[in-house]
Structure 1
Amino acid sequence: MSADAPLTQDGVDAPFAELATEALVAAVVEYDDEPDECTIYPLHADEEERLTTWVSAKSDTYVDLEAMR
C-alpha cells in the first residue's frame, strides 16, 4: 500500500488513485418540490471548464456503498 495513495474506508488503496491530481468541490442545491442535486467539479476550474467538467446526481439516485458489496 502506498503512503501517498488515497485510502478507501476499509484501508485499501483507492482504485485509480494515481490519476487523481486535483481537488474537487461538491455543491448541493436543495429543492422544495424535487430531489436535491449534488454537482461535483474541479476546485480550480474556470467558468468555461465548469460547463464541461462536472457530474451531477439527484438525491433519489444515490446508492449506499454497502449495497454495492
Structure 2
Amino acid sequence: MNTNADSHHADSEPTTLDYVTVENDDAPDECAIFPRDASDDILSTTWITAQADSFVSLESMR
C-alpha cells in the first residue's frame, strides 16, 4: 500500500470521486468519499469519511 499522497503518475487519468451522505439516527451524519469506478476489493480500502461537523455545503462556501 502506498501512503504517499504526492505519488501520482503524470500520464494517468485523474480519479473521479463519488460520495454518499449517511444520515444516522444515533450518531452524527457522515459523508463517505470514494473512487467512482473502483472494484469492490478496492472500495474496501480506498475511501474516507467525515462526520457532519467536518464538512459544509458547497453553496455556503461560495
More contact order relative to length (CA 8 Å, sep ≥ 6): 2
Runs of 4+ in 1 over 4 A off after TM superposition: none
Alignment of 1:1-69 (within 5 A): 21-62=14-55
Specify every segment of 5 or more residues in structure 1 that has no aligned partner in the other structure, as ranges.
Answer: 1-17, 64-69
Q: Larger Cα Rg: Structure 1 or Structure 2?
A: 1
TM-score by structure 2 length? 0.62
TM-score (norm 1): 0.57
- Aligned pairs, how many? 47
Root-mean-square deviation (Å): 2.3
Determine the C-alpha separation between the residues in 1 that align with 2:26 and 2:13.
36
